[in-house]
Amino acid sequence: MSVTPFHKVSQVWETPLQSKHDGPFEYWHAYSRSADSRASGDTGQDYLTFHVNDGRFVFALCDGVSQSFYGDLAARLLGDMLVNWLAADPACASTSEAFALELADRLRGLTVDATGLVYDQPLPDPIPEMLRGVLEQKRAMGSESTFICGRIDVPETNLPDGRLALAWMGDSRLRLWRSGQERTEDLGETFHTHERWSTRQGPVGEAPHVFIGPLLEVGLTNLTLMAYSDGLDVLDGSSPVLVHGLVEKTLALGRETGPTDDASFLEVQVAGP
């Protein structure tokens, strides 16, 4: 059995749109910090990580809340936990109810380690006392991030139709096509700005939203899944045929200064039999 490492897209420099073919999966990803982050040399608030191995694709795309204390910290911690959990093939992924319950439990449990990391996070030195006071107030409230995560399993003996398991909180975009027909409506109107994960409180706003279904459906031969942060909202409503050009154009326009917001992008295509 081949084993590939988890890929963690850098938060400190830009990643132009690139593609790769790995077994049954063809995928694209890109990352860019905002203009403000580039100008100040700061870490991007978005975090993208994924893992491909023997017929499964696992990913997490997290968007740190900039108004919180070091949102990039929450995004990174959360993304790594989600991918490690999903890569372990949780037994709860057999039903939506069990999947949602275990995910909520893990999101709450992660606050223990996360609170310690927030407490230990050093502040820049020197900084004005007024700014130090503001950051300490934010530290007391914790670090926050939205997320989209998922696991794609191709058909095999125990999963003859394959499996698509997805979860999310917040307003990052998650879109789905089957045989070229968009099926994002299957996920429901459940992408809300006020929902996120907090290092202090765990899930905020609502319980995490989940979707579990077969990878393949009768008469449908392939699947396309797309996830991107709100820094790429220009992609909303665009078909997969146009998306790659729009991603490259958007990042190219901001190549010198960066886009107005952090931008992270992932697309995965899986061909049917």
Confidence of residue 258 (pLDDT cuts 50, 70, 90): low
Confidence of residue 256 (pLDDT cuts 50, 70, 90): low
User: Is the separation of the CB atoms in 73 and 118 below 8 Å?
Assistant: yes
CATH number of the domain to which 33 belongs? 3.60.40.10
User: Is residue 2 scored above 50 in pLDDT?
Assistant: no
- List pLDDT tens digits, range 127-142: 888 888 888 888 888 9
User: Is the separation of the CB atoms in 51 and 6 below 8 Å?
Assistant: yes
Examine residue 197 and state whether it is found in any structural domain, yes or no. yes
Q: Which structural domain, as residue segments, surrounds residue 13? A: 7-271
User: Is residue 3 scored above 60 in pLDDT?
Assistant: no
Least confident of 130-134, 174-178, 179-183, 219-223: 219-223
What is the model's pLDDT at position 220?
Answer: 63
The percentage of residues in the chain with a pLDDT greater than 90, rounded to a whole number, is 66
Of residues 243, 248, 207, 208, the one with CA closest to residue 225: 243
Please give the Cα distance from 91 to 212 (Å, whole number): 13
Count Cβ atoms below 10 Å from residue 90 Cβ, excluding itself. Answer: 16
Any alpha helices (H) in the chain, and if so which ranges?
35-40, 71-87, 96-109, 111-120, 129-141, 240-253
Of residues 46, 39, 56, 42, the one with CA closest to residue 4: 56
Examine residue 1 and state whether it is found in any structural domain, yes or no. no
Residue type, 21: H
Residue type, 269: Q
Contacts of 2 (CB under 8 A, 6+ apart): 53, 54
Q: Please give the residue that has the higher pLDDT: either 53 or 260.
A: 53
What is the model's pLDDT at position 40?
Answer: 86
Burial, 212: exposed, middle or buried (Cβ in 10 Å; 0-12, 13-18, 19+)? Answer: buried
Examine residue 155 and state whether it is found in any structural domain, yes or no. yes
User: In total, how many domains does the chain have?
Assistant: 1
| DSSP SS3 for 217 | coil
Burial, 222: exposed, middle or buried (Cβ in 10 Å; 0-12, 13-18, 19+)? Answer: middle
Examine residue 91 and state whether it is found in any structural domain, yes or no. yes
Mean pLDDT computed over every residue of the chain: 90
Put residue 180 in one of left, alpha, beta given phi > 0 → left and psi -120 to 50 → alpha. Answer: left
What is the model's pLDDT at position 48?
Answer: 98
Angle at 78 between CA 186 and CA 123, to 5 degrees: 140
What is the model's pLDDT at position 254?
Answer: 64
Count Cβ atoms below 10 Å from residue 253 Cβ, excluding itself. Answer: 12
Examine residue 15 and state whether it is found in any structural domain, yes or no. yes
Please give the Cα distance from 59 to 87 (Å, whole number): 9
pTM recorded for the entire structure: 0.93
- List pLDDT tens digits, range 191-237: 999 999 999 999 999 899 999 999 887 666 689 999 999 999 999 99
Q: Which two tokens stand for residue 187?
A: 């996920």
- List pLDDT tens digits, range 43-96: 999 999 999 988 899 999 999 998 899 999 999 999 999 999 999 877 777 889
Residue 51 pairs with which residues in a beta bridge? 58
Examine residue 38 and state whether it is found in any structural domain, yes or no. yes
Q: Please give the residue that has the higher pLDDT: either 3 or 126.
A: 126
Please give the Cα distance from 189 to 47 (Å, whole number): 24
What is the model's pLDDT at position 273?
Answer: 59
What is the model's pLDDT at position 222?
Answer: 87
Please give the Cα distance from 111 to 201 (Å, whole number): 7
